């Protein structure tokens, strides 16, 4: 029995790797759709339908979770949408309010990841909706790269007020904000080398992908800009097998002691890119000295420092920019995700002395989009008005504390770490090695319990709820998480 299930799992993994499970689900759905003509009783129909989501059904026993509408849409999705994205469980969304998402079959979920740290002001936020509606009545798009308009200027003033950077470049996503920072650094320094950190994630277009160093799969077969990688302060799995604080932050010093000496001269380095807290790489929070040391090394070697605040920015960790937690100011800061209040919006921030490139060097079609600018401004104003910085500190502390209590009862929780409302739980085997299979099982059990969580790193579960989540929702979400741990623990 165990052997059979092992073989099944390895087959499933094999299919997951190749995207074959999607094709399988699609074929099964086609079969299902053909059989839809024959009337069957509700329960039988649900059981019948259950056969058609092969991967999720057999591996995770989701017979009663995936409703008929969801099945149909997943089948159609697999047929027509590129399979390159990885979905951890079969959620088909329909509507949402605050921190709760309703799926197409009417089942509700507490969203503990906020659409990957995007919905900081909550779903269907009335103020953001009103701002969008009001702009919608006027116009949605104006080729802001060619003409002028007020909404992006108002937003830029708000960004200056919140961040103290005096110049803004708009784009539509995180990867574009990072690309813009790469280009500005190249343009300004006339150097063409970059440095980033192991486990980092900076996006998937070719420039940002050169910096990304999270999973080899993300880079396979793609060419790169010259980039050297240095070690981040992943204290739970210290690359130098040292202990904080006696380590003396050896990892940060590697930049100077190894990279600049042996791999990439500072004279060829346009910029060092760093996430204040590593996101996709495993919600890794460095000790405060790490960023200060990196800052000092960049200053000493006359190299620009760029903070990728795509995930950490917009109050996710308390202050508007997460680098404020470390008392570090970088030359460039990149924003996206939560910036648009749920609409696509990215920005690169720098001071006017640095961002002094002339007309025509860089631009795009949708950057500063009117609808996105209106949503962004109202979302930031809302978060400010709610004094969200303090609330994030309070809720983040509570979330970490409750998860640490769970850690005492579940030995496979190796580490609980976080900054503000960005908390990671690392799932491990008894010998502390990674356990992605159990991690994925927990995610699916959590989904069955009615909470949405996502993976990151090799073996980590990330918590990044909307910043407006209520205490009751958080308590209920963590109770459900405990149930999921119980089920996945056996």
CA distance 322 to 38: 57
**Residue 414 φ/ψ, nearest 5 degrees:** -80, -35
The two structure tokens encoding residue 125: 């936020």
Q: Which stretch binds ligand PLP (CB under 6 A): 294-302, 304-312, 384-392, 446-454?
A: 304-312
> Least distance (Å) from ligand PLP to the CB of residue 207?
11
Stretch that binds ligand PLP, among 43-51, 171-179, 373-381, 413-421 (CB under 6 A): 171-179
Closer of 26 and 120 to ligand PLP (Cβ): 120
User: Binding of ligand PLP at residue 333 (CB under 6 A)?
Assistant: no
Residue 369 gets which letter from DSSP? Answer: -
Asked if 410 contacts 489 with a C-beta cutoff of 8 angstroms, the reply is yes
| Residue 116 beta carbon to ligand PLP: minimum distance, rounded to whole angstroms | 6
In the bound state with ligand PLP, the residue whose beta carbon lies nearer, of 203 and 266, is: 203
| CA dist., res. 368 & res. 383, Å (int) | 20
CA–CA distance, 96 with 53 (Å, rounded to integer): 25
- 102: β partners: 95, 108
Member of 178, 305, 335, 474 binding ligand PLP (CB under 6 A)? 178
Minimal distance, residue 209 CB to ligand PLP, in Å: 10
Indicate whether 175 belongs to the interface with ligand PLP (CB under 6 A): yes
CB of 96 to ligand PLP, least distance (A): 19
CA dihedral 205, 208, 213, 216 (to 10 degrees): 20
Minimum CB distance to ligand PLP smaller for 49 or for 467:
467
C-alpha triplet 469, 127, 308: angle, nearest 5°: 65
Take residue 271 and report the two structure tokens written for it: 């910029």
Whichever of 26 and 214 has its CB closer to ligand PLP, that residue is: 214
Q: Is residue 291 close enough to count as binding ligand PLP by CB under 6 A?
A: no
114 binds ligand PLP (CB under 6 A): no
Tell me the number of residues near ligand PLP by CB under 6 A: 14
Find the part of the chain contacting ligand PLP (CB under 6 A) among 273-281, 358-366, 405-413, 451-459: 273-281
CB distance 194 to 256 below 8 Å: no
From the list 179, 256, 275, 426, which residue makes contact with ligand PLP (rule: CB under 6 A)?
A: 275
Q: What is the 3-state secondary structure (H, E, C) of 177-238?
A: HHHHHHHHHHHHHCCCEEEEECCCCCCCCHHHHHHCCCCHHHCCCCCCCCEEEECCCCHHHC
Candidates 233, 336, 399, 434; binder of ligand PLP (CB under 6 A) is 336
Shortest Å distance, C-beta 23 to ligand PLP = 25
Out of 100, 113, 171, 310, which residue is the one contacting ligand PLP (CB under 6 A)?
Answer: 310
* H/E element, 23: helix 20-35
Residue number of the CB closest to ligand PLP reads 174
Helix 20-35 with 2-18: angle, nearest 10 deg: 100
Considering the rule CB under 6 A, would residue 308 count as an interface residue with ligand PLP?
yes
Q: Are 208 and 275 in contact (CB under 8 A)?
A: no
Binding test (CB under 6 A) with ligand PLP, winner from 103, 111, 256, 280: 280
DSSP string, 134-189: HHHHH-S---TTTS--HHHHHHHHHHHHHH---EEEEESSHHHHHHHHHHHHHHHH
Instruction: Decide: is 100 part of the binding site for ligand PLP (CB under 6 A).
Output: no
Question: Binders of ligand PLP among 182-221, rule CB under 6 A?
Answer: 201-203
**Distance (Å, rounded) from C-alpha 325 to C-alpha 249?**
18
CB of 89 to ligand PLP, least distance (A): 19
Q: What's the closest the beta carbon of residue 7 comes to ligand PLP, in angstroms?
A: 34
Q: How far is the CB of 245 from ligand PLP (least distance, A)?
A: 26
Q: Does 311 bind ligand PLP (CB under 6 A)?
A: yes
- List contacts with ligand PLP (CB under 6 A): 173-175, 178, 201-203, 275, 279-280, 308, 310-311, 336
């Amino acid at each position: 029995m165990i052997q059979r299930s092992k073989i099944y799992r390895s087959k499933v993994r094999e299919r997951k790797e190749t995207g074959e499970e999607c094709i399988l689900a699609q074929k099964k759905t086609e079969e299902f759709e053909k059989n839809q003509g024959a009337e069957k009783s509700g329960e039988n129909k649900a059981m019948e339908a259950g056969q058609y989501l092969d991967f999720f059904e057999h591996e995770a026993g989701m017979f009663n979770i995936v409703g008929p509408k969801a099945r149909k849409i997943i089948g159609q999705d697999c047929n027509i949408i590129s399979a390159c994205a990885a979905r951890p469980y079969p959620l088909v969304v329909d509507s949402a309010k605050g921190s709760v998402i309703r799926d197409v079959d009417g089942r509700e979920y507490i969203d503990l990841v906020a659409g990957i740290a995007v919905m900081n002001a909550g779903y269907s936020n009335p103020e953001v909706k009103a701002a969008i509606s009001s702009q919608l009545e006027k116009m949605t798009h104006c080729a802001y790269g060619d003409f002028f308009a007020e909404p992006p200027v108002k937003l830029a003033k708000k960004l200056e007020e919140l961040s103290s950077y005096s110049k803004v470049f708009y784009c539509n996503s995180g990867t574009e904000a990072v690309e813009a920072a790469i280009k500005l650094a190249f343009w300004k320094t006339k150097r063409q080398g970059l440095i980033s950190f192991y486990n980092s994630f900076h996006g998937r277009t070719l420039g940002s992908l050169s910096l990304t160093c999270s999973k080899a799969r993300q880079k396979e077969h793609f060419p790169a800009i010259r980039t050297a990688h240095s070690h981040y302060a992943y204290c739970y799995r210290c690359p130098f097998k040292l202990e904080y604080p006696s380590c003396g932050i050896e990892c940060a010093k590697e930049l100077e002691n190894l990279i600049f000496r042996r791999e990439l001269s500072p004279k060829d380095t346009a910029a060092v890119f760093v996430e204040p807290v590593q996101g996709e790489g495993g919600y890794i929070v460095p000790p405060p000295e790490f960023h200060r040391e990196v800052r000092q090394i960049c200053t000493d070697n006359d190299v620009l420092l760029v903070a990728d605040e795509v995930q950490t920015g917009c109050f996710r960790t308390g202050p508007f920019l997460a680098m404020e937690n470390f008392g570090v100011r970088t030359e460039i800061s990149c924003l996206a995700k939560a910036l648009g209040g749920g609409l696509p919006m990215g920005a690169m921030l720098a001071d006017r002395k640095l961002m002094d490139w002339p007309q025509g060097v860089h631009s795009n079609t949708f950057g500063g989009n009117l609808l996105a600018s209106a949503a962004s401004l109202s979302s930031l104003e809302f978060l400010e008005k709610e004094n969200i910085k303090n609330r994030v500190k309070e809720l983040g502390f509570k979330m970490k504390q409750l998860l640490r209590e769970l850690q005492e009862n579940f030995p496979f929780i190796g580490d609980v770490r976080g900054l503000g409302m960005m908390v990671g739980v690392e799932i491990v085997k008894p010998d502390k090695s990674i356990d992605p299979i159990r991690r994925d099982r927990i995610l699916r059990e959590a989904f069955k319990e009615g909470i949405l969580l996502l993976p990151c790193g090799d073996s980590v579960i990330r918590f990044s709820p909307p910043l407006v989540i209520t205490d009751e929702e958080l308590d209920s979400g963590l109770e459900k998480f405990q149930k999921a741990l119980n089920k996945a623990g056996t």
